[in-house]
Amino acid sequence: MVNNRMVVNVVTPFYDGNKYLDDYAHSMSKAIENATQMNKNISFIITIVNDSPHIEIDQTALQGLEKNTCQLSIITNEKNSGIHQSRVNGIQSCESDYTVMLDQDDLIGERFFTNITKMKDTSDVLLMNGFYETAIAKEPIYNNDLTMKLSSTETILLYTRNLIVSPGQTIIRTKVIPSKWFKHICTINGADDYMLWLLLFSNGSRFQYLNDMQYTHRYTSMNLSINEEKMNESSDEIVELLQASGYPISKINLINKRRQWKRGFKQANPFSKMAKVLAHPKIFLYNFIYMIFWKGYKFKENDFN
């Protein structure tokens, strides 16, 4: 990139989120300081995309982020456009080597950005471990390497569900983000990241996992990922968008079959459950393994993608 620097674009959609900016800036500042001390050739663009144009962003907390190695960029959507479009607007607003997509209420650890140095040359996406926080509990997302490895595979995405809590867990080489993800926009918030992972795998992108607790996903009143009805609607929409994008029809059929199977299995009586197992043994097997051996946070509220 410019001046031979490694540029990281941190894209954060904002919606009536001024109350989160102090915590956001504090965790960001520590991570950036640590990264720049270890690598003098790294620089950052903090791109805040205001998706609530009727509300002005309070930049007081963010001013401390602007240093020689860090540029603050505020983008305001002309109208409320949703998380997916806001992420796209932020990514396309500048050139970068790496992209990080955080929610406004996310927190990152001090080693988050330094972990870029641990990305293999052959890796396109680095998945890190972290915590899953509610008002009453804070649990690890993954409790061992095996669950991290499984979560970063296409097979698990297709046969069970999306076990990557948020794109905020990841650092992505900007050049591999699929053009189809930029073009086919989810208008219902919730599952655009699931669509991103599916398209990345379809393009042959390679995922690497790192069991380092450098991310905290917080459930707040502004977070929709535990709203089952909305997530189902968003998942329905991405199936249509995937089809429009030319995503392999065999994989779309598998996603539809798995979602229908899981909904039917939950509602079936014992005899009907056995019939469903026999009808689709491979789907049952993967979901049985997921339910019995999954060692991370149990995602009780949203096991439905």
- What is the structure's pLDDT at 291? 75
d(CA 151, CA 158): 11
Q: Where are the domains of the chain?
A: 1-105, 119-299
Residues contacting 24, CB < 8 A, separation 6+: 12, 61, 102, 104, 105, 106, 107
User: What per-residue confidence (pLDDT) applies to 287?
Assistant: 84
The correct CATH number of 1-105 out of 3.30.70.1350, 3.90.1200.10, 3.90.550.10, 3.40.1670.10 is 3.90.550.10
Alpha-carbon distance of 285 to 277, in angstroms, equals 8
User: Parallel, antiparallel, or unpaired for β 98-101 and 107-108?
Assistant: unpaired
Q: What is the structure's pLDDT at 221?
A: 54
To 5 degrees, how large is the angle CA 218–CA 108–CA 298?
A: 40
In order along its 305 residues, the chain shows pLDDT tens digits of 445 789 999 999 999 999 999 999 999 999 999 999 999 999 999 999 999 999 999 999 898 888 878 999 999 999 999 999 999 999 999 999 999 999 999 999 999 999 999 999 999 999 999 998 988 888 999 988 888 998 999 999 999 989 999 999 999 999 999 999 999 999 999 999 999 999 999 999 999 999 999 999 988 655 545 567 788 899 999 999 999 999 999 999 999 999 988 877 777 777 777 777 777 888 888 888 777 766 555 544 443 34
Query: What's the confidence (pLDDT) of residue 301?
Result: 41
Query: What is the pTM for the complete model shown?
Result: 0.91
